[in-house]
Amino acid sequence: MPAYTSREQAVSVFSQLFEIMLEDDAFRAIVRDEALSVRFVHTEPDFELYVDAEGVRVDGPAAPTTLAIKMSCDTADALWNGRLLMPIAVATGRIRIKGSVARVIEFVPLLRPAFDRYPALAAAAGVPTSA
């Protein structure tokens, strides 16, 4: 059974996740100072999420971004719940990245608070928990 039953459910959880991240002064400062912008391309259900110092936008215009990260919503759920490690997901092709590998390496540790917050956000949205 897929983790997300609708596009609206997935958009709600992932946009909230990054809105919370951007409320953190340290995260926002790094994103701003490094001119970091990320386009998350989610599939099954399909939507795009753009994250930069200005905020979070869903299905915004296809603006150039520093990084583009593509994955299914099931893969995203496994990643954010800590059941899948980013290096393994990239090596196995479950996550595809366009952009500088060095930027990705810098970006992933910044997301630690998101890993902590995701399970509660997903549960509140009715996303089933997986073992």
42-96: pLDDT as tens digits: 999 999 999 999 999 998 766 789 899 999 999 999 999 999 998 899 899 999 9
79 to 50, 54, 56, 116: CA distances (angstroms): 18, 25, 20, 12
The pLDDT of residue 3 is above 50: yes
Residue in this structure with the two tokens 């520093």, named with its chain if needed = 66
Give me the domains of the chain, ranges plus CATH numbers. Answer: 7-123 (3.30.1050.10)
Query: What strand order describes the sheet that includes 38-43?
Result: 55-58, 47-52, 38-43, 67-72, 96-98
Rounded Cα distance, 11 and 48, in Å: 9
